[in-house]
Chain A
């Protein structure tokens, strides 16, 4: 399960926290992922691409969850008026 807490401003990600029972190697990549996503438009494709690019660049591995799943959760958090 992925949980996302999000604040946005002018359609852009202002702050977010991704939590859940997934696996990401190396683990501290999550902090960098959150940093990279800040300032991006709340747009599913762009968020998913950014996550995929970062994980690839850092030679990381996501287990039990795909970049698109995280992106979808971020969108859902956005729709809830985060």
Chain B
């Protein structure tokens, strides 16, 4: 989260090019949308006992469980002036998600974009995405599920009652899929990242060049980590 904001700031100051970043969460974490209430959404005692972090995102949307082994997260940070990205938020989801759709299809997964901001495989969600625009930079991030375990997710999220928990888990098992769930084989993080990189290059007709974070981004990220770890930020709503 901190590094994303640091990259967005660096991009807005013209210090770095448009960037796509892939990462995993260590430890695993639940992120909530900007407008959600932490205490309303997250069972913090369960998180603590399972060693799972919780954090508020800079973007709207719902709670997401980022399992270290089960999912890959990406972030795209693009100058708003770049013609690749439509000014209209809804259309831009489609454009930016098309990189993931093509990337997944390269792995043999018939992924489709489903408005507003999901990617589905045969009607079942495999990726959720969220976007914000600040400082003249479009910042979209999202999750791609390699494996999914709704039982764990609904242990970490608050639910109105135990009876409803079972229903939510059952419903999630029907509505959500994953790469290994669809393909019946594991796709490693390296293979997945390579496919998604290829997918973004084809979808956006760009060439992605591997790079490292610059000193400005690192220093700013270190400062921003304090904000993202703070009670003030995480419990602001």
Contact = CB atoms under 8 A, between A and B. Distances in A.
A25 B35 CA distance: 11
Contact of A22 (B35, B37, B131, B134): B35
A19 B37 contact: yes
Contact of B89 (A3, A18, A61): A61
A18 to B, nearest CB: 7
Which label, helix, strand, loop or mixed, suits the secondary structure of the A interface? strand
B62 interface: yes
B105 to A, nearest CB: 26
A24 B133 CA distance: 10
A23 B59 contact: yes
A56 to B, nearest CB: 16
Contact of B33 (A17, A21, A25, A61): A21
Nearest to B237: A19
A63 B132 contact: no
Given A18-B35, A19-B36, A22-B35, A27 B58 contact: yes
The winner among A22, A23, A25, A63 for most chain B CB atoms within 10 A is A23
B90 interface: yes
A30 interface: yes
A21 B62 contact: yes
B54 interface: no
A11 interface: no
A22 B89 CA distance: 13
Interface residues of A, number: 16
Interface residues of B, number: 21
A42 B134 CA distance: 33
Contact of A64 (B58, B116, B237): B116
A21 B37 CA distance: 10
Contacts of B61: 21-23
B185 to A, nearest CB: 32
Contact of A23 (B37, B40, B60): B60
B116 A63 contact: yes
A26 interface: yes
Nearest to A30: B35
B200 interface: no
Given A17-B237, A27-B35, A27-B59, 19 more contacts: A3-B37, A19-B35, A19-B37, A20-B36, A21-B36, A21-B60, A21-B63, A22-B33, A22-B60, A24-B35, A25-B89, A25-B133, A26-B132, A26-B134, A27-B60, A27-B132, A30-B34, A63-B60, A64-B116
Interface of A: 3, 17-27, 30, 61, 63-64
Interface of B: 33-37, 40, 58-63, 89-90, 116, 130-134, 237
